Structure 1
Amino acid sequence: MAGLATCCSTLSSTSHVAVSWLEFQTHHSGRITAWKPSRWRNANGIRAEVKFVKPDEAKKLVTEEGYAVVDVRDRTQFERARIKSCYHVPLFIENKDNDIGTIVLRTVHNNFSGLFFGLPFTKPNPEFTESVKNQFSAGSKLLLVCQEGLRSAAAANKLEKAGFENIACITSGLQSVPPGTFDSEGKTELQDAGKAGLVTVQGKISAVLGTVLICAFLFITFFPDQAEKLLELAPTS
């Protein structure tokens, strides 16, 4: 478990930005699973300031203020759906280490979280900050995005400590972005990129069964005589 700290401050009286000091704890799957209050200052003694905005505000930052979009999700979610012309710098990467402890954890993960939720087995990307620095200067305006909003907040903290000054994140992540807000590409909508595994299959089966049951109920309600004849034809045990 690794602790990652971040904080945020208000943009303006009209901007929906939370004010908090948080320390995030990360799971080996790459999901940030817990947070608690934390306080810290950077080398200059200045508290970190990160803009947390709603999807429509994020769109304005990109189209009107020249923010570049940096997607910090893992490769699988990025491939499912992404904002066009974004930069992909994952905060977590697939863990292919072959020591005994990692093999055991990976096996357990793949049999549960991987199977049911489609989550890859990951570890922190040791080159994350350096990769961003190789592509952007410290004064660059960056909109960091992830699926739920927590990884982008953790990534913002790392970049703020590295000297980046103009960082924004979407509150609640891409799962909160309405279709059509951004030009996107991939095989699904941005808000659905985190859905995978047996949970998705189960959801589709449930939807089909629900439709069948509703149709059956309507048929019985509006055509009771025909329904009764069909039931008479059904084999009995």
Structure 2
Amino acid sequence: MAGIGCCCFSTLSSRSNLRTSWLALETHRGGTMARKPLRRRNLLINAEVNFVNAEEAKKLVAVEGYAILDVRDKTQYDRAHIKSCYHVPLFIENQDNDLGTIVKRTVHNNFSGLFFGLPFTKLNPDFEKSVKSQFQPQSKLLLVCQEGLRSAAAANKLEDSGFQNIACITSGLQSVKPGTFDSVGSTELQDAGKAGLVTVQGKISAILGTVLICAFLFITFFPEQAEKLLQMAPAS
């Protein structure tokens, strides 16, 4: 019976240890000795990123004291940005000179760079470090970019780094109506992402359309003069 009692005591002690993490008992030379409470490991709980529209973002800044952090590249930031915001780009211009980068940069500049005015960039390796040098983990940050993708990616990085009060504008600055924020730059906030040939495509189409319409009307109402002009044109 004594053996059974010891066995039962050991089993109960084991079960008790599983249920109670702060106290453990162990047999020591026929007696018991209480251990010190066990410290539980602190677990980091990440807060969810708050996605808001432009009007809600304005209230976060004005009422709750959120600081605005612009994570766009320098070209878009220089075209237009919210007044008194902070700027830490998630992507920076890639000026590496290895062969692979040179080829990619050349292809990019001849297509995306030419038509859309997009710089050839790479991920900013010092992004989190730069943000931490200006803000504490408990700081309230409103992240903004042009379309909303970079700000969401930046929010995930900062969340993993310990920041817990983060908000982003859904769809980015392209969805912000003029006058919502005081801005600085040569264009409106929603147009800061527009550059390259696409910005003049509409104007070119309008001019070409006007020329063609005028030519059609000229040929229709002045056929003789139009025929003479065609005869004067050099033969190909």
TM over 0.5: yes
* Structure with max Cα Rg: 2
Counterpart residue type for residue 206 of structure 1? S
Alignment of 1:92-171 (within 5 A): 92-171=91-170
The residue that corresponds to 2:226 in the other structure is 235
Q: Which has the higher helix share?
A: 2
Deviation at 1:44, TM superposition (A): 3.0
Counterpart residue type for residue 189 of structure 1? E
Counterpart residue type for residue 132 of structure 2? K
* TM-score of the two chains, using structure 1 as the length reference: 0.72
Q: Which has the higher strand share?
A: 1
Identify unmatched segments of 5+ residues in structure 2.
1-41, 231-236
2:186 paired with 1:183: no
The residue that corresponds to 1:197 in the other structure is 196
SS of the residue 1:70 aligns to: strand
Deviation at 1:66, TM superposition (A): 0.7
Q: Are the equivalent residues in 2 in contact too, given 1:179–1:189 (CA < 8 A)?
A: yes
Counterpart residue type for residue 153 of structure 2? A
Q: Are the equivalent residues in 2 in contact too, given 1:67–1:141 (CA < 8 A)?
A: yes
How many equivalent residue pairs? Answer: 185
Once residues 142 and 57 of structure 2 are traced to their aligned partners in structure 1, the CA distance between those partners, rounded to angstroms, is 7
Counterpart residue type for residue 90 of structure 2? L
SS of the residue 2:111 aligns to: helix
2:70 paired with 1:79: no
Once residues 94 and 191 of structure 2 are traced to their aligned partners in structure 1, the CA distance between those partners, rounded to angstroms, is 24
Once residues 89 and 46 of structure 1 are traced to their aligned partners in structure 2, the CA distance between those partners, rounded to angstroms, is 25
Q: Are the equivalent residues in 1 in contact too, given 2:46–2:159 (CA < 8 A)?
A: no
Cα displacement string for residues 54-82 of structure 1 (whole angstroms, at most 9, x for unaligned residues): 11101111111111110000000000000
Q: Are the equivalent residues in 2 in contact too, given 1:48–1:157 (CA < 8 A)?
A: no
Q: Are the equivalent residues in 1 in contact too, given 2:51–2:167 (CA < 8 A)?
A: yes
Cα displacement string for residues 82-134 of structure 1 (whole angstroms, at most 9, x for unaligned residues): 00000010000000111111111111111111111100000000000010000
Deviation at 1:231, TM superposition (A): 3.3
SS of the residue 1:135 aligns to: coil
Matched-pair identity in %: 73
Counterpart residue type for residue 205 of structure 2? S
Q: Are the equivalent residues in 2 in contact too, given 1:147–1:191 (CA < 8 A)?
A: yes
- Give the superposed CA RMSD: 2.2
- Cα distance 1:229–1:148, how it changes in 2: closer, same or farther (>3 A)? closer
Deviation at 1:48, TM superposition (A): 4.6
Once residues 163 and 141 of structure 2 are traced to their aligned partners in structure 1, the CA distance between those partners, rounded to angstroms, is 9
* TM-score of the two chains, using structure 2 as the length reference: 0.72
Q: Mean alpha-carbon deviation: is it higher for 195-204 or for 119-128?
A: 195-204
Counterpart residue type for residue 64 of structure 1? V
Once residues 57 and 117 of structure 1 are traced to their aligned partners in structure 2, the CA distance between those partners, rounded to angstroms, is 30
- Cα distance 1:232–1:195, how it changes in 2: closer, same or farther (>3 A)? same
The residue that corresponds to 2:53 in the other structure is 54
Deviation at 1:233, TM superposition (A): 7.0
